[in-house]
Amino acid sequence: MINESWISIVLGACVDAGRAILKVYDSDFAVTHKADDSPLTLADQEAHRIIADRLRKTRVPVLSEEGRSIPFAERSCWEQMWLVDPLDGTKEFVKRNGEFTVNIALVEAGRPVFGAIFVPVRQVLYVGGQGAGSFRLDDAGAIAAAGSGELEQWQDLADCGKKLPFHAGPASPLTVVGSRSHLTPEVESFVEKLKTSHGEVLFVPAGSSLKLCLVAEGRAHLYPRLGPTMEWDIAAGHAIAENAGARVYCHDTGGPMVYNKENLLNPWFIVEGAGFRSGEKGK
């Protein structure tokens, strides 16, 4: 479980990184590409720098998408780690559709026990933690600024935010959320099978970790990710969804998702909203 003294540090890091991202977003920014041909901007780099600097105060090691070259022999010995995506949804950032996030998760023994996701354009913050539940805070930029002292413990989050899920979940149609920029044929096939078993299915595209947030809120029943993702893409959303009553499991085995693996690539997975069962292997 997260040390409550770290809550304001993490949320302040999210908000400050979000401010830096928006400065670049509102400019005529340049786009370069990483070795895997994924886009990289100054916003990714600035957000990484800010978050790494803030999290240093916790004395817990950080594994970030923009600082991923830490040998497994070293990180396998970590009891705790911060798993960070300083700008999740860079493709959405480049498209300027607003569907990008800042993701910070605390991982213990291969499990995400705390997650924070900040949506800079909307100024919305999602937070979830083991034994504490999950919450959505609107206008978070005003109340979670670094050093504000207004969000220092779980009770503050409960007082300022809305507990998730706050939608009971639409009775019908079955609502499935999927990637806006990385939709695979396997997901399309998955949705077609759901139509056979459940009738009408509403498919909602979304970018970044917002897909997990939609399930956590209860606005979507399912998020099938039958395609590649990395650990930092989903750890924060996993913690938020799970502590809002959702289930996150491996598509092929029904087993739990594990973090800080030697290979940081995730297996395909399913996120099921609170009270919903899809009939996949995880049932």
Binding site membership for Mg(2+): which residues?
65, 85, 87-88, 233
Annotated binding site for substrate: 65, 87-90, 233
Bond into 112 cis (ω within 30) = no
The neighbouring-strand residues paired with 250 are 269
**Which tokens go with 248?**
């996150």
92: which residues sit within 8 A by CB, 6+ positions away?
A: 98, 99, 100, 180, 181, 207, 208
Maximum Cα–Cα distance across the chain: 52
Q: Give the three-class secondary structure for 178.
A: strand
Alpha-carbon distance values, 28 to 92, 198, 218 (Å):
15, 46, 37
CA-CA distance, 234 to 273, in Å (whole number)? Answer: 15
Asked if residue 62 lies in contact with residue 70, where contact means CB atoms within 8 angstroms, the answer is no
Mapped onto helix, strand or coil, the DSSP state of residue 138 is: coil
In the block, tokens 């950080």 appear at 62
